[in-house]
Structure 1
Amino acid sequence: MTTSLSPDLARLADPAVRPDPYGVLRTLREASPYTDPASGIVVVGRRSDCEAVLRNPKVSSDRQGSGITTVPQMPNLMNLDAPDHTRLRRLAGKAFKPRLVQQWRPRIEEIVRELLTDIAAGENTADLVSAFAYPLPVRVICDMLGVPREDHPVFEKWARSIAYTVDPQLVPGRLSTEVVQEVEEARAGFVGYFGRLIAERRHTPRADVLSELISAEEQGDQLTESELIITCILLLVAGHETTANLILNGILGLLRHPGQLRLLRERPELAEAAVEEVLRYDAPAQMITRIAREPFTIGDTPVTPGTPLLVLLAAANRDPDVHRDPDTFDISRGDPGHLGFAAGPHFCLGSVLARLEGSIALNAFAQAFVEPRLDAESLRYRPHVAVRGPDRMRVSFKEIRVDAVRVTGTSERSVASRG
């Protein structure tokens, strides 16, 4: 793959497009599937084609050496193929079964109330990125992994740095030496920290996900020390960045569509449907990359081994051949079909947790914030292309009704994990 792109494709990385990439994505979807003449990347944007690529055994998730990623990645669930991926997912998935994840609902609700209480104690305005959406998933996944509260801020900093590793290299030289160094420092910090934490949990298991990952076994097979560390890093980074952006994109959608906010306030049972609509309408995961390992054809486009593929999930989620009025935000549409968590063997392992956090957070926003208003001038987006969401978003409000957010009870698991 070359490092140049045709102008249409290069626009995806233009910061000016970040606030609303959907016009560009529509153009690319309508032209797809096609081979970008400048880079050789096969662009896929139609829903049926994207899903076909994600489920195709002739396509690899191992992008190392392809030129489509710049920062070296550690082998993990996102970039391994079968049988290594199958084994690792089978073992790690034991700690993320829906029944186990649901036991964390009381603790998530408790954290939401804590954050809202802090916001309510200040002035009648807040940056919901730093005050709500970013700390929530960090606290949740840190609690689940048994990370003490005092270490949460450094984990958030490390997670934000490593998020650069998932971006395709659409613009040559976009990642500075300083950014790459920050990624490596964050990775080294995680490896050292989790190495020590794993040793502690082997000696003294607790009611947390890390202890369950350590004990996960199938036919005598268990995760190795290295696999445990890498899985912990992935869970924290993926569970932080994507869930925070899911919450932020959802709040932004509700603020821009007051009728939908009013509907959710009146019908809180629509919170789960609201999450599905955000994942379709403005998903945090905008695109992913794959590499062909065998020849195949997508549409009328031949794909040769070694060819990079850019799968435009956000374009597929607004495909008019699949979704009625695809550019309309409607939490009552009742259409859960989307690629917000990808599809196939690499369907997001943490989808149950992300959906749970998202539904609690969006419902809490609808119920607790009285007369919220977006400060449009404050809205700034993160520099990432693959995972998209605001980096700053101030919201003013008349008051916050913390008591409107219920806590279903305190489970033994959530209490034991608070550290």
Structure 2
Amino acid sequence: MTAVRAGQVEFDAFDPVHRADPYPVYRRVREAAPLCPFLLGDVPVTVVTRYHDCETILQSPDWVHGYDAGISPFREGNATAPRSFLRMDPPDHTRLRGLVNKAFTPRIVGALAPTIHQLAGRLVDEALAAGTIDVIHGLAAPVASATIGHLLGVSQDAGAALRGWALAIARGTDPDHLLSAEEIASRTKATHDFQAYFRELINERRLRPTRDLLGLLASAEERGDVLTEAELLGISSLLVVAGMETSINFIGNSVLSLLRHPDQLAALRARPELISSAVEEVLRYDPPTQFTLRTAHTGTEVAGHTFARGDGVVLVSAAAGRDPAVYPDPDHFDITRYHGPQPARRHLGFSVGIHFCLGAPLARIEAEAAVGALVQRTTTMSLATDADSLTYLPSLIHRGLTSLPLTLS
């Protein structure tokens, strides 16, 4: 990705030098202009950083993914993987999401809550006995892998393999020209191994239906239509990658935000009921997903600029979350922002419109359970390493730490 100067503004937030903190770049671009030209490889697109413009595009039928119609300027990565409905447009998106909705019910998700809370509490208790924990590998990843494994009916023994596949595939969602040959090869192998494993599970579920999500999806019907193997593989991949990596990064970003704001950590210890508001604030302040892409389906106008069919935009929802036109003092982390009778305006952390994240309720449960257990079962927690040594995953879309070691008491 290449920065392009428009007047006095340049969008270079995707430069690795800004990986630890892209928000000053987002702010500079957002303040300078509503739209910023950008080169995605050698394809000119537009970066959108203001809340109202991002929200408008996400909710408008004038904007689509455009892959099936052949109009998207964004090349789909990981051509070896079956596509999920995340990158589809109606009517295929409507059909597949309708089938998944029938299996991904509040009852199924809610029934997982006690198990998730129990696991998070046990992991924190074990960490307290040891006096240390790596939040990413010792709390977030076990919670997320166990949850998605239980949801899909995957054996506990496959947890480590699921995480490895998810990391490689998630990294591979970035544009190919930003990936090394090794990363592309790793993505290809992970995709192959993932499909082989889930193809066998799907065949088992069709022969012997089960009540887990994969079993329900394998037998789901809508007007006589059933999910094909490719569609089931695409949905399974989406659930594993988005369901695991988003939750892991969500938990890690939440804990780090609290550590960096001791007053907010103290407030959460004193008022456990603020946990729901706290994780919502993280989704605004430092979300695990930084941006999404859209293509103009027809000629349309946004922020005074006319877009033609096939024009592409990069919607930086992470920048929109700190738009001062919507959020007072937006660079301040405030765990009460979403608490009380007049909460802040909804964030875009899980998107809006027809592509609103299906797994949002589950991700919230996981974050509340893991962060809540860590905060309420400990007296103190502090970084067990120098803050400058913390590193982030190389992915641009997915924002998360590679590790977060803490000392506990």
**Alignment TM-score > 0.5, same fold:** yes
Aligned counterpart in structure 2 of residue 288 of structure 1, from 284, 289, 292: 292
Distance 2:174 2:187 in 1: 13
Matched, 1:204 2:208: yes
Q: What does residue 34 of structure 1 align with? A: 35
Distance 1:366 1:202 in 2: 43
2:51–2:326 Cα contact (<8 Å) kept: yes
2:11–2:36 Cα contact (<8 Å) kept: no
Matched, 1:130 2:137: yes
Q: What does residue 52 of structure 1 align with? A: 56
**What SS is found at the alignment partner of 2:402?**
strand
Which piece of structure 1 moves more, 90-99 or 59-68?
59-68
Q: What does residue 5 of structure 1 align with? A: 3
Which piece of structure 1 moves more, 220-229 or 383-392?
220-229
Q: What does residue 390 of structure 2 align with? A: 379
Q: What does residue 342 of structure 1 align with? A: 351
**What SS is found at the alignment partner of 1:166?**
coil
Amino acid at match of 1:213: L
Change in CA separation of 1:9 and 1:305 when aligned onto 2, cut-off 3 Å: farther
Distance 2:200 2:77 in 1: 29
Matched, 1:155 2:162: yes
Q: What does residue 372 of structure 2 align with? A: 363
Amino acid at match of 2:347: H
Matched, 1:223 2:234: no
Q: What does residue 140 of structure 1 align with? A: 147
Q: What does residue 240 of structure 1 align with? A: 244
**What SS is found at the alignment partner of 1:331?**
coil
2:217–2:232 Cα contact (<8 Å) kept: yes
Change in CA separation of 1:378 and 1:134 when aligned onto 2, cut-off 3 Å: farther
Q: What does residue 341 of structure 2 align with? A: none
C-alpha distance after superposition, 1:90-114 (max 9, x if no partner): 1111222222211101111122133
Distance 2:175 2:310 in 1: 16
Q: What does residue 262 of structure 1 align with? A: 266
Amino acid at match of 1:93: N
Q: How far 1:378 moved relative to its partner?
A: 3.8
Amino acid at match of 2:394: P
Runs (5+) with no aligned partner, structure 2 = 339-343
2:63–2:296 Cα contact (<8 Å) kept: yes
**What SS is found at the alignment partner of 2:284?**
helix
**What SS is found at the alignment partner of 1:40?**
strand
**What SS is found at the alignment partner of 2:275?**
helix
Q: How far 1:191 moved relative to its partner?
A: 1.2
Q: What does residue 404 of structure 1 align with? A: none
**1:397-408 matches, cutoff 5 A:** 397-398=408-409
Q: What does residue 192 of structure 1 align with? A: 196
Amino acid at match of 1:134: A
Distance 1:10 1:261 in 2: 33
C-alpha distance after superposition, 1:280-329 (max 9, x if no partner): 11111111111222111111112122222000101111111111111111
Distance 1:137 1:296 in 2: 40
Distance 1:35 1:251 in 2: 32
Amino acid at match of 1:303: F
Amino acid at match of 1:317: G
Which piece of structure 1 moves more, 296-305 or 235-244?
296-305
Q: What does residue 61 of structure 1 align with? A: 65
Q: What does residue 16 of structure 2 align with? A: 15
Matched, 1:351 2:351: no
1:283–1:340 Cα contact (<8 Å) kept: yes
Distance 1:392 1:378 in 2: 10
Q: How far 1:30 moved relative to its partner?
A: 2.3
Distance 1:22 1:359 in 2: 25
Which piece of structure 1 moves more, 63-72 or 322-331?
63-72
Q: What does residue 105 of structure 1 align with? A: 113
Q: How far 1:267 moved relative to its partner?
A: 1.7
**What SS is found at the alignment partner of 2:60?**
coil
- The TM-score with structure 2 as length reference comes to 0.90
Which piece of structure 1 moves more, 197-206 or 51-60?
197-206
Change in CA separation of 1:35 and 1:319 when aligned onto 2, cut-off 3 Å: closer
Q: How far 1:210 moved relative to its partner?
A: 1.1
Distance 1:98 1:223 in 2: 21
Distance 1:330 1:67 in 2: 36
Distance 2:77 2:234 in 1: 19
Distance 1:29 1:99 in 2: 41
C-alpha distance after superposition, 1:20-78 (max 9, x if no partner): 11110112222343351655211111111001111121222245762455443632122
Distance 1:41 1:275 in 2: 32
**What SS is found at the alignment partner of 1:321?**
coil
Which piece of structure 1 moves more, 40-49 or 7-16?
7-16
C-alpha distance after superposition, 1:205-237 (max 9, x if no partner): 333111121232333232222211211111011
Amino acid at match of 1:109: H
**What SS is found at the alignment partner of 2:371?**
helix
| Number of residue pairs matched by the alignment | 392
Q: How far 1:176 moved relative to its partner?
A: 0.9
Distance 2:66 2:357 in 1: 16
Matched, 1:305 2:312: no
C-alpha distance after superposition, 1:144-198 (max 9, x if no partner): 11111111111110000000233356xxx43011111111111111111111111
Q: How far 1:10 moved relative to its partner?
A: 5.5
Distance 2:127 2:306 in 1: 54
**What SS is found at the alignment partner of 2:12?**
helix
Q: What does residue 407 of structure 2 align with? A: 396
Distance 2:123 2:359 in 1: 23
Distance 1:239 1:75 in 2: 16
**What SS is found at the alignment partner of 1:200?**
helix
C-alpha distance after superposition, 1:320-375 (max 9, x if no partner): 11111111111112225100001111111111111111111111111122210123
1:380–1:390 Cα contact (<8 Å) kept: yes
